[in-house]
Structure formats: structure tokens, C-alpha cells
Copies of this chain bind each other. A is one copy, B any other.
Amino acid sequence: MESRNDGREALVVGVSMTAFARHEDRAVEELGEEAARAALADAGIDAADVEVAFCGHVFQGITAGQRALSRAGIAGAPVINVENACASGSTAFHQAVAAVRGGSAKIALALGLEKMGRGAIPADPGDVRLSARAGVPLMPGMFAEVFRAHSRRYGTTLEQIAMVSVKNRSHAVANPRAHFRAPITVEDVLRARPVADPLTVLMCCPTSSGAAAAVVVSADVARQRCKPIAVAASVLCSDRPGPGDDPLYMIVDINTRAAARAYQQAGIGPDDLDVIELHDCFAIAEVIHYENLGLCPRGEGGKFAAAGASRIGGKVAVSTSGGLLSKGHPLGATGVAQVVEVVEQLRGESGARQVANARVGLTHCQGFGGAAAVHVLTV
């Protein structure tokens, strides 16, 4: 299984990301170059020493990784573009870790990038099992159905998921790279423009562009660097053809499996986590991922959010960057940007949104149709 971790240790020694924003005036190659150069500078590693690079993206066309990375001075060494829907960036990071663990490289780079346009999401993102209703945007429509199912089964309320949006925005206030940073209230969220009944626009992630990069190295290379962060687990699962009539199945099963394998690989449990970046593409998704990651019992994600357990200073700090909801969600960049946030938290470099004594972090991404990736990072 992919949980086998009898390979070499892999550590993150450099991270960086662009601001997430519309970036209407910048080419995606330029965003990728900026993130890659800054991550290498953070690592103190020369571009010429990168032995393999993986680039996660969804919509950026042929050899987007080469276009960005050749500008950053990476040429000659293999560049591999990877795609796994919204988990594309996580897949790039997973592959960089695999290259170092497997010994084919001592220095690997993971880059994620995406320039999103309005309407960039296609009508049918692969093997999606929930049908969209006429006139409702596909993904919001799917998650409206997910919310209704979770609400019916467990009593989750709109107010509870609105509190997730408010919490993530409160974290984004302190993150200069987040797309949306103005504080909001539960009332703001509930009264915002409806997108797919009953979800409002503030319960849905925005359309953002950006890039993020991480440098993954072997233990001998890491010893010469400041503050290396160890990759204790790197798990990628794909979707199993499942029952199509349960809207919760697709958001529960694959993520729960990926988390269980990651905990096993890292030798930790949910109670050991200090900081988490998860796939809060919609506020209801964050609530269900609390349950999938074992932060609270099944069905109690809404209460977990409402109790403030997932804010900075709570039981475990979730979406400290602002999450997809407020930092933004440039598809291919997201998974790597999650690693950037958690690495900075574990280094103690997160400024006003720093989680005190953060020593163990987790990232989680889901690409519908599909893949789920979970990484555990430790000081």
C-alpha cells in the first residue's frame, strides 16, 4: 500500500507562495516563477541543484511546469506535470516526497500553480456522482445537497457552517497573502448573496489565482539547513466507484481512508495535531472534514465549529491561513500552499496568526473524481 514508509526520511526546508488574488494582469508562469524562486531562496538551495520537480495544475495547458520552472532556472532535470483535480498541488508534493523517500533525488521541488478565470470550472469535473440542478452552479449545487444531507442526518445548522466562514476569515485577517481579509460576522454570511440554496457566497471559496512551492530534501541535505520540517506521512488515495445515491459518501469515504492511513504512517492520532489546513472549499466541507479527520465524533462537526474548538487558541487550529474560503483556492496551488502554511506555523513564523507551540501539523486536500491526499508534518 502507499502507506508503506520504509524509505528515506524527507524534510521540507523551503516554502513560499504568492499572494492569492485575481492576478488578472500576471501570467501563470510568472506566478510560478515567483513561488519557486522564493522557496529555493528560503531553502538556500540553488535552482541548478534541484534534481526533479513536480508541477500541479489543472487548467494551465501543456507543460505549464516547464514554462514556469525554466524561468526560475530549473532546466535539464526532469519536470513532471501532475493533475488530480483540486488535489493536484498535494499530488505534486506527494510525488516530491516520494522521490526523496525513494532515493531517486536528494532535492525535489513541488510547485502548484493556477490562473483561474471566471467560469474556469468545467460543467463536468470528471466522475462526479451528484447531479447538478438546472440553473445552479455545479460545485455549489453539490455542496448544497451535501449540507442538506448532513443537516437531515445530524442536525447541522446553517449558523454552524456560517461560523466556519467567520472563523476562517478571522484567521485571514492576519494573513497578507489571503484573497479576502475584511472581518465578517455570522449575520454577514447568512445574508450574503445566495449561490446555491441554502449556501451563500460567503460559504463558498472564491475564484483565486496564485502559486506555491516547497523544497523537499533528504536528511543529509536537511542537516545543513535551518528549521527543517519532517514529512511524517504522505498519503494519496483514489476514489472507489461507490454508491451514487448517498451525497455524503463522496465527501466522507475517501477522506476518512486517507486520514486513517496518514495517522498510521505517522504513528500519531488526531489528538496530537496542533495545526491543520484542510479542504474547506465550502463551509460544510470543513465541518465534515473535522469528522473525517477524527477531530470529533461523526455528526458532531457542526457543534465542534460552534464551540470554537477549531479556531486559533481552540482545541486544534484549523485553516489558520484563512483556508480555501478566505485565502482562496487556485486549484493546483492549493495543496502546496497548505504545506507552506503548516511549515511556517511549525517554524513559528506565522506572526499574528501563530499557533502557540505548534509541533505537529496536517494538510488535507480532496480532488473530486478523484483523489484525497493527507500529509503530516512535524518539527
- List the interface of chain A (C-beta within 8 A of B): 1-2, 4, 6-7, 51-53, 58, 61-64, 66-67, 69-70, 74-85, 91, 94-95, 98-99, 101-105, 122, 125-127, 236-241, 257, 367-371
Contact = CB atoms under 8 A, between A and B. Distances in A.
Contact of A81 (B64, B69, B82, B241): B82
A22 to B, nearest CB: 22
Contact of A101 (B51, B77, B78, B104): B104
B237 A122 contact: no
Contacts of A70: 127, 238-241
Contacts of A85: 62-63
Number of this chain's copies in the complex = 2
17 contacts: A1-B51, A2-B77, A58-B62, A61-B122, A62-B125, A62-B126, A63-B84, A63-B127, A63-B369, A70-B238, A70-B241, A75-B239, A79-B238, A80-B371, A83-B83, A99-B102, A102-B104
Contacts of A257: 76
A306 to B, nearest CB: 34
A241 B29 CA distance: 14
A66 B4 contact: no
Given A80-B371, A98-B104, 9 more contacts: A1-B51, A7-B103, A66-B239, A70-B127, A74-B238, A75-B240, A98-B102, A102-B103, A102-B104
A101 B105 CA distance: 12
A80 B82 contact: yes
A82 B64 CA distance: 12
A7 to B, nearest CB: 6
Contacts of A370: 63, 66
Q: Which of A236, A238, A367 has the most chain B CB atoms closer than 10 A to its own CB?
A: A238
Contact of A369 (B67, B82, B125): B67
Q: Which of A75, A104, A126 has the most chain B CB atoms closer than 10 A to its own CB?
A: A104
B371 A236 contact: no
Contacts of A2: 51-52, 77-78, 104-105
A62 to B, nearest CB: 5
B4 A67 contact: no
A237 B53 CA distance: 11
Contact of A1 (B62, B77, B79, B82): B77
A88 to B, nearest CB: 8
Nearest to A254: B76
Contacts of A7: 102-104
B1 A127 contact: no
